[in-house]
Amino acid sequence: FFEVSSGASIRGSMTLLDRVLWTSVLVVFVSGLFNFIIHYVLGLQHLTCLGGLGTVKPLVEHQFARDVSYVFSVTQQLEKMTTKYQLVEVFAHAYLGNILVIDQSVQITEKDEANYHEMMVHVPLAYMPKAKKVLMIGGGDGGAVFRALQHDHIEHAALVDIDMRTMREISRKYFSMLYQAYTDPRTVAYSFDGAEWLEDQLADEANHGTYELIMADTTDYGAASSLFTDHFYAGLKRLMHPETSILVLNVDSPSWNMDTVIGVQRQLSTMFKYAYIYHTHQPTFLSGHYSFLFASNNIDPMTAPIDWSEWHRKKIPTYYYTPEIHYASFMLPAMVSRHLTMSGRLSSVTTFP
């Protein structure tokens, strides 16, 4: 009896195992068929980031040169508008906050825009504690101008953006902190193509030598072709203060677009005595690595003294920038520095914080 019962139990167990096995096979088959239909028949990608069908489609930024995509599981599309100049979108994200996207390229997020804007502004202004006038070409979100106006010695900020009215409204609705650049009485905003505005300014010699800091912040290096020519840079140079002035450009990722970074540095080194690349960590940009170019005829960022007591006097709240980060940003990876005409060296630094 024991053996019969045991045998019956074994046969019953085998039947149960067979059912489990076949059920598992069926589940795998159905899952594979479902994914095939979704990905190849319906063309829906990144389904796992959707949280199921019927939810908000994820924001996907694709870097074609490297064939890499970043996927943001956004909770809502807050804005989408096609202007005369660009496609502007704003998305909400649970961790990153609001995300500004222009022509399908992430520009800023509330979470880490400070990494970018603080480095673009505080690095050059640390050398010029008495600077009074700044010029921003592009940067219509207001982030860089907002940071510049945190320096109490700045008396005038000119902001020139080809789609300024759109960007001002986007900033007002979704990036209220940056919008303070527009409400500050020291700001004068121009809705102009940067290259055309520059030619208009240069026509009046009274404008020559006006600005201590000039920044060019474009959506993508190479996209606005009129802003990346020797003629344009030469024009900006004529607007720079002859004794103390700096030009800062946003460039590209040193990790993924090294040729662009090298090319820009070499181009500007033929026009300025000092042309240094400095970099920052930008987690929400493709590669997470970004760079700027520091150009000047009278300020060498490695040897020019910085009055750090003056920096601390201002008590500017920062999220990313510190005096230590300031110098560290000029120290570049060997894969980049070996190809540049000049690059930062720690041994050159004369004033530590």
Q: Which residues are catalytic?
A: 217
142 φ, ψ (degrees, to nearest 5): 90, -5
Contact call for residues 151 and 133 (beta carbons, < 8 A): no
Residues sharing a CB contact under 8 Å with residue 131, sequence separation 6 or more, in sequence order:
125, 151, 153, 154, 212, 213, 244
CA distances from 262 to 65, 70, 239, 275, 301 (A): 17, 25, 25, 11, 18
Residue 171 half-sphere exposure toward CB, CA atoms < 13 A: 23
Contact call for residues 286 and 247 (beta carbons, < 8 A): no
The closest of 189, 278, 293, 205 to 247, measured between CA atoms, is 293
| 242 CB neighbour count, 10 Å cutoff | 10
d(CA 139, CA 113): 12
